[in-house]
Amino acid sequence: MGDFEGGKHFGIEGILLAQSFPSSKLSLFSSNEKEDILQVLQVITMLDSLSTLNLILPVGTQVVSRIEVKNNAGESVCLQGAVGVIVEAPTDNSHAYRVQLPNGIQVCLKRHELSIRKHYQKAGMQPGDFLAEYDLDQYVIYRCVVGSRAYGLDDEHSDIDRRGIYLPPAELHWSLYGIPEQLEHKAEQECYWELQKFLILALKANPNVLECLYSPIVELRSHIAESLLEIREIFLSKLVYQTYNSYVLSQFKKMEQDLRNHGDIRWKHAMHLIRLLLSGITILQEGFVPVRIEQYRDRLLTIKYHQINWEEVNAWRLSLHEQFDRAFSTTQLPERPDYEKANRFLIEARRYQTQKLN
């Protein structure tokens, strides 16, 4: 599965939040698909922001006056901060809106003289300004290399993809503004999940997260991260079968459509889907995540470089699904991961972080 990408700190999370798109669903998409989703949401968010200034507000919108309005006698008829409802909208923003106040008086306000009420009430509560003074990267407790270099499938063109965990101080958790679920540095190919988010994804058998726990290339690990690695087997369960299988099935279906409609597919993505099945089979059979799969390197790279045809790739996939089924029927893994142990770990990690403040 592909990796998360996006702008630093609040790129994807802020956009997903603004558009009510659940960030947890990103783990179901490939890297290219995530980038496409982000670009679409960025455009939508941009249009939303433009709409507050450049698009005409409809009749019935509740607004707040930014100015005081006086009549010809110099008497105040509309206080700054007064609430009203638009009863007549102009054809363009060079003209004024007619706004009716609670007392029935109507005043004329231009666009820059009023604010949409719901936006006005949210002002000052956005996390960006509050968190800007924090260097959240200093709270990274675990950093590893994932992707092709960790898999043993890299070549001279491969990037270095880093993933990991950050554990912010308790005061940020306790604040009104909360914390971003992940820190992202697109240019550096880096992403760090907040500890709770990381644990939740691991409990759901998210392949990207499980591979972090078993990466052979670890660049940074704190005491807390070391403790997590010591219990990493608690995240392995039969859910791996459902998660890995369903993702591969959905992605191959999309690739079949691409092949019919466009005559080609993303062969690197196809390679990683096959790799995912190989990984899932080993997890069920042996109880660990095999990140480095050099024994399959040559055969997998024939897919990446399109040296075999689609029929051969699909035949390999189908045979791996059969092996996956057999491994599922005989696996010793539990039905579910150890939620209680994961929860205890999170509490202890948060408690440790709190004690550091004292």
Place of tokens 């095999």: 290
Joined tokens for residue 334: 């539990």
Rounded distance between C-alpha atoms, residue 198 and residue 212, angstroms? 10
Beta strands in 209-335 (DSSP E): 218-221
Q: What angle do CA 263, 268, 269 make, to 5 degrees?
A: 80
Instruction: State the DSSP H helix or E strand holding residue 121, giving kind and residue range, or none if neither.
Output: helix 117-122
pLDDT tens by residue, the chain, 358 residues: 443 333 333 344 444 444 444 544 555 555 555 566 666 655 555 544 444 455 889 999 999 999 999 999 999 999 999 999 999 999 887 789 999 999 999 999 999 899 998 887 777 666 665 676 678 899 999 999 999 999 999 888 889 999 999 999 888 888 887 889 999 988 888 999 999 999 999 999 999 999 999 999 999 999 999 999 999 999 999 999 999 999 999 999 999 999 999 999 999 999 999 999 999 999 999 999 999 988 999 999 999 999 999 999 999 999 999 999 999 999 999 999 999 999 999 999 999 888 765 5
Look-up of token digits 């996956």: 324
Tokens of 40: 């679409």
Q: Which two tokens stand for residue 253?
A: 């279906």
Rounded CA-CA distance 19/41 in Å is 7
pTM score, whole prediction: 0.70
- Provide the token pair at 272: 């990683």
Separation between Cα atoms, residue 152 and residue 150, nearest integer Å: 6
Token pair 């249009």 is found at 47
